Amino acid sequence: MTSAHGDAAELSAQLSEHMNGFLYSAALYTVTLHGVADHLAGGPRTPEELGELTGLHGPHLGRVLRYLSTREVFQEDAEGRFALTPMAELLRSEVPGSLRDSFLMLGDDLYWKPVGRLHETVRTGRTAFDEIFGAPFFAHLQTDPAAASLFNAGTAGFSHLVTEHVAQSYDFPEGTTVVDVGGGRGGLLRSVLAAHPRITGTLYDQASVIAEHQLDGPEVAGRWSTASGDFFASVPAGHDHYLLKSILHDWSDENCLRILQAVRAGMRPDSKLLVVDPVIPSGNAFDASKTIDVMMMAVYDGKERTQREFEEILTKAGFRITRILPTPSLMSVIEAVIA
């Protein structure tokens, strides 16, 4: 039987490991930034060999890899060489499902600095991002092309995890026209068009984002167009379906109302709105939406929402939820019509 003292010691050790969680993030960012996983694609290497290839200090790199191996990211063999694991494979560039760009985004100062001041955000009720960078998140991206490109690539990497699930979870009728509002590089629209070969779509975002679109592909040829603008002001009018994927969670309730009202103004009376976001479940069980919610709070002044919170904000904007469709991914599809 474990003594009360033993239980306390175990809990203390677990809590201490949690407290050091920022080291895990820093270690992942370090190996991703320097392309370590790509250098292991041909087989195991020693820290010294990896140091030569990356320009890093071999012994220090070895210690980082040893630490990551305790989390099943890389694996150390009896000869002190390190190899890829299934998780480490996802840190490689140009592989299906790669999260390399996403990890580069999350480990950058763009996220690292405001998250490091989460204690201030909880005290003040607003992100520290504006104070750190001199402007809110998306306004900052407009003045920093490198940060904007980093963000576009990083969000596209995460988008790959969900786009096909979302596209296959909603049945778009033949002949439907779809507008992907704030659709970034077009990952979701491309998946939707590929899954539904008899519909057409428009990718709508800022001109600088549209310029990096990924809609060139034979499976969607001739069925897409692009339009640029500000979704706080207007959207392309008169279409059947309007997609808002990972948009509302970036913004406060006040700003979400502005977006929703602009979309509503562009819709026909029979158009449908599809909000694609996580829906936070009740209870204490782990759910990734609860993790992401804190990130949204710290960096964007945004939030993930419960079903009740979605109902409240959509009602205020003049919509009525008709159904909520879960998908095999974290996302749900919230279908709404003009009330």
What does the DSSP assignment read for 37-79? HHHTTTS-B-HHHHHHHHTS-HHHHHHHHHHHHTTTSSEE-TT
pLDDT value for 161: 77
303 burial type by CB count under 10 A (0-12 exposed, 13-18 middle, 19+ buried): buried
State the pairing for strand pair 272-277/241-245: parallel
Distance CA 20, CA 303 (A): 25
The half-sphere exposure of 59 on its side-chain side, counting CA atoms within 13 A, is 0
H or E stretch at 277 = strand 272-277
H or E stretch at 116 = helix 109-116
Contact 305, 135 (CB under 8 A): no
H or E stretch at 7 = helix 4-19
The residues facing 148 across adjacent strands are: none
Closest CA to 68 of 107, 36, 102: 36
Name 267's Cβ contacts closer than 8 Å, sequence gap at least 6.
237, 239, 242, 273, 338
Query: What tens-digit pLDDT sequence spans the chain (339 residues)?
Result: 455 666 888 999 999 999 999 999 999 999 999 999 999 999 999 999 999 999 999 999 999 999 999 999 999 999 999 999 999 999 999 898 899 999 999 999 999 999 999 999 999 999 999 999 999 999 999 999 999 999 989 988 888 778 989 999 999 999 999 999 999 989 999 999 999 999 999 999 999 899 989 898 899 999 999 999 999 999 999 999 999 999 999 999 999 999 999 999 999 999 999 999 999 999 999 999 999 999 999 999 999 999 999 999 999 999 999 999 999 999 999 999 999
pTM above 0.75, yes or no: yes
pLDDT value for 158: 85
pLDDT value for 4: 60
H or E stretch at 337 = strand 332-338
pLDDT value for 320: 98
Contact 64, 57 (CB under 8 A): no
Please state the φ and ψ torsions of residue 11, each to the nearest 5 degrees: -65, -40
Domains of the chain: 12-95 (1.10.10.10), 160-338 (3.40.50.150)
Show which residues are catalytic.
249
Q: What is the pLDDT of residues 123-161, one digit of tens each?
A: 999 999 999 999 999 999 999 999 999 998 998 888 877
The residue written with tokens 């970034």 in the block is 184
Contact 57, 135 (CB under 8 A): no
